[in-house]
């Protein structure tokens, strides 16, 4: 992919690294892109608008109104015009404003009106980068679907050594290129995703359920759709919205309903990602009426096993189909995960450990390892579930034409 004919909004904020933004602008322009630069007032202290407008052939936008003629610069129009926006360098202050909707300059208003993908390359001192407020803001921005291009480690403007140096322009360009290439990797593919918990009815007001929020499965569905796939999302009861128009959602309640829907849809797909926390058992009988309380008698609910959806799909899986399962373990994690690969005929299993803080049910973050059917294991850091979804797709259906 080249940047030829791309419409790019390049945001520059007040950091020493602003000089590198000139090389980035030049790189885009040389490949034939149209680049509109927006600077924060502090950005202009580090590099002049004259240098930048000479490179892009367009006046730099910084204020809401033109200084001489009072014309209004439309952040809304820029949001519609752009194929993508890159903010490089992004200071701690701008990250904070973007994360919290403090739209007091042209750069942040444009960011908030942006319809296209947004990339952010932070640059700051190591202590500022490590500060919990920066970590929180980055995590918020990721949760909005923005893409963070991590700073590199090395000597900083303060002469301290650590993480915070803006990534080099060539690497930033490479990251963006890869993103757009990946976007088409799943076009014409059909992916089934199961997500959320199942509810197994006891009586009209009670059920057996679990703490699954559905966030991991929904992030996977969004990620597959963003890469061009047609997605069928079979979801248990959750309070989440689907956003991408290429996701067809089937809402179910019980494991049996999820099984029926999955068995029906799977044959026509290229892959299934089984992220749902399916209840292993259901009550043998379901009372039509609310079970009444008794003070002197124990209540026993007899349970019977539900069908294993993953194993059933594993049995009917064809050569050209891929099956990815999840395992949530508390002990002997890897051994149990490997057993599940065998038993369910999976190609990959994504292992979450309940022993990792911030991972698993009810969190927005997850820490995973991916194990393939040959036992090769790759471990990942604790990340926002949206970013974890990208890692999972990269490793499994991803960019290397695995499907
Ligand atoms: N799974 C499924 N249908 C079930 C149970 C599990 O499709 N009835 C899928 C899950 O979606 C997950 C994988 O199987 O992808 C492993 O689920 P997990 O609950 O970890 O495994 P179980 O087979 O239920 O084993 P156990 O509860 O004993 O660990």
The answer, yes or no, to whether any atom of ligand 1 lies below 6 A from the CB of 310, is yes
Mean pLDDT by 10 residues, the chain (403 residues): 96 97 98 97 96 96 75 82 98 98 96 95 95 93 88 85 93 93 88 98 97 94 93 97 89 98 98 97 96 93 98 97 93 91 97 77 85 94 88 83 58
The answer, yes or no, to whether any atom of ligand 1 lies below 6 A from the CB of 325, is yes
Using a cut of 0.85, tell me whether the model's pTM lies above it: no
Question: Domain range spanning residue 362?
Answer: 190-399
366 and 259 co-located in one domain: yes
325 and 378 co-located in one domain: yes
Phi, then psi, of 316 in degrees rounded to 5? -100, 0
The answer, yes or no, to whether any atom of ligand 1 lies below 6 A from the CB of 75, is no
Q: Which helix (H) or strand (E) holds 403?
A: none
DSSP 234: E
177 and 200 co-located in one domain: no
pLDDT for position 371: 96
How many structural domains compose the chain?
A: 2
Phi, then psi, of 353 in degrees rounded to 5? -110, 135
Phi, then psi, of 57 in degrees rounded to 5? 75, 20
253 and 300 co-located in one domain: yes
Measured distance CA(249)–CA(231) in Å, rounded: 8
134 and 250 co-located in one domain: no
What is the Cα 400 distance to its own chain's centre? 19
249 and 355 co-located in one domain: yes
Catalytic residue among 210, 246, 336, 345: 210
- Domain end among 137, 166, 182: 182
- Domain end among 166, 182, 198: 182
Is 1 within a domain?
no
Q: Which helix (H) or strand (E) holds 155?
A: strand 152-155
| Nearest ligand 1 atom to alpha carbon 313 | 7
Q: Which of 340, 342, 368 to mutate to test the pocket of ligand 1 (most atoms within 8 A of CB)?
A: 340
The answer, yes or no, to whether any atom of ligand 1 lies below 6 A from the CB of 369, is no
pLDDT for position 352: 87
25 and 69 co-located in one domain: yes
139 and 240 co-located in one domain: no
Please tell me the distance between residue 59's alpha carbon and the centre of ligand 1 in angstroms: 58
Is 99 within a domain?
yes
374 is catalytic: no
Q: For residue 21, what is the domain's CATH number?
A: 3.40.50.1950
pLDDT for position 400: 46
Is 205 within a domain?
yes
Strands of the sheet containing 84-90, edge to edge, are 34-39, 7-12, 84-90, 118-122, 147-148
CB atoms within 10 A of CB 395: 19
Is 2 within a domain?
no
336 and 221 co-located in one domain: yes
The answer, yes or no, to whether any atom of ligand 1 lies below 6 A from the CB of 142, is no
| Nearest ligand 1 atom to alpha carbon 276 | 11
Measured distance CA(264)–CA(261) in Å, rounded: 5
Please tell me the distance between residue 330's alpha carbon and the centre of ligand 1 in angstroms: 14
203 and 161 co-located in one domain: no
Please tell me the distance between residue 309's alpha carbon and the centre of ligand 1 in angstroms: 8
Q: For residue 227, what is the domain's CATH number?
A: 3.40.50.10300
Please tell me the distance between residue 366's alpha carbon and the centre of ligand 1 in angstroms: 18
149 contacts 175 by C-beta, under 8 angstroms: yes
Is 53 within a domain?
yes
Decide: residue 213, CB within 10 A, 0-12 exposed, 13-18 middle, 19+ buried: buried
Most distant CA atoms of the chain, gap in Å:
86
- Domain end among 182, 217, 233: 182
The answer, yes or no, to whether any atom of ligand 1 lies below 6 A from the CB of 176, is no
Please tell me the distance between residue 327's alpha carbon and the centre of ligand 1 in angstroms: 7
297 and 377 co-located in one domain: yes
Please tell me the distance between residue 361's alpha carbon and the centre of ligand 1 in angstroms: 14
pLDDT for position 69: 65
15 and 31 co-located in one domain: yes
| Nearest ligand 1 atom to alpha carbon 325 | 15
């Amino acid at each position: 992919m080249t940047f030829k004919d791309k419409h790019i909004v390049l945001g520059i904020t007040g950091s020493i690294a602003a000089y590198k933004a000139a090389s980035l602008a030049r790189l885009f322009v040389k490949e034939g892109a149209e680049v509109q630069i927006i600077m924060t007032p502090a950005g202009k202290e580090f590099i002049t608008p004259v240098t930048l407008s000479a490179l892009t052939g367009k006046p730099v936008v910084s204020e809401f109104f033109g200084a001489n003629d009072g014309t209004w610069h439309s952040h809304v129009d820029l949001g519609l015009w752009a194929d993508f926006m890159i903010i490089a360098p992004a200071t701690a202050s701008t990250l904070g404003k973007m994360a919290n909707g403090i739209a007091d300059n042209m750069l942040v208003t444009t960011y908030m009106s942006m319809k296209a993908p947004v990339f952010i390359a932070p640059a700051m001192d190591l202590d500022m980068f490590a500060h919990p407020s920066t970590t929180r803001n980055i995590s918020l921005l990721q949760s909005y679907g923005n893409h963070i291009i991590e700073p590199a480690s090395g000597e900083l403007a303060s002469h301290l050594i650590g993480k915070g140096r803006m990534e080099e322009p060539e690497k930033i360009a490479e990251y963006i290129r890869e993103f757009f290439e990946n976007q088409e990797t799943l076009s014409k593919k059909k992916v089934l995703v199961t997500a959320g918990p199942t509810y197994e009815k006891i009586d009209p007001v009670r059920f057996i359920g679990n703490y699954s929020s559905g966030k991991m499965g929904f992030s996977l569905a969004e990620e597959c759709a963003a890469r061009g796939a047609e997605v069928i999302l079979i979801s248990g009861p959750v309070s989440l919205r689907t956003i991408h128009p290429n996701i067809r959602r089937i809402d179910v309640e019980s494991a049996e309903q999820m099984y029926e829907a999955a068995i029906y849809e799977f044959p026509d797909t290229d892959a299934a990602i089984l992220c749902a926390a399916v209840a292993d058992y259901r009550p043998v009988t379901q009372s039509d009426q609310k079970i009444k309380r008794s003070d002197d008698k124990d209540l026993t609910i007899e349970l019977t096993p539900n069908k294993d959806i993953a194993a059933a799909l594993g049995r009917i899986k064809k050569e050209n189909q891929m099956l990815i399962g999840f395992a949530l373990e508390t002990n002997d994690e890897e051994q149990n995960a490997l057993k599940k690969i065998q038993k369910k005929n999976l190609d990959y299993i994504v292992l979450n450990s309940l022993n990792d803080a911030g991972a698993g049910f009810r969190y927005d973050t997850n820490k995973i390892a991916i194990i393939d059917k040959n036992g090769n294991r790759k471990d990942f850091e604790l990340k926002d579930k949206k970013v974890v979804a990208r890692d999972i797709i990269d490793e499994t259906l991803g960019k290397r034409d695995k499907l």
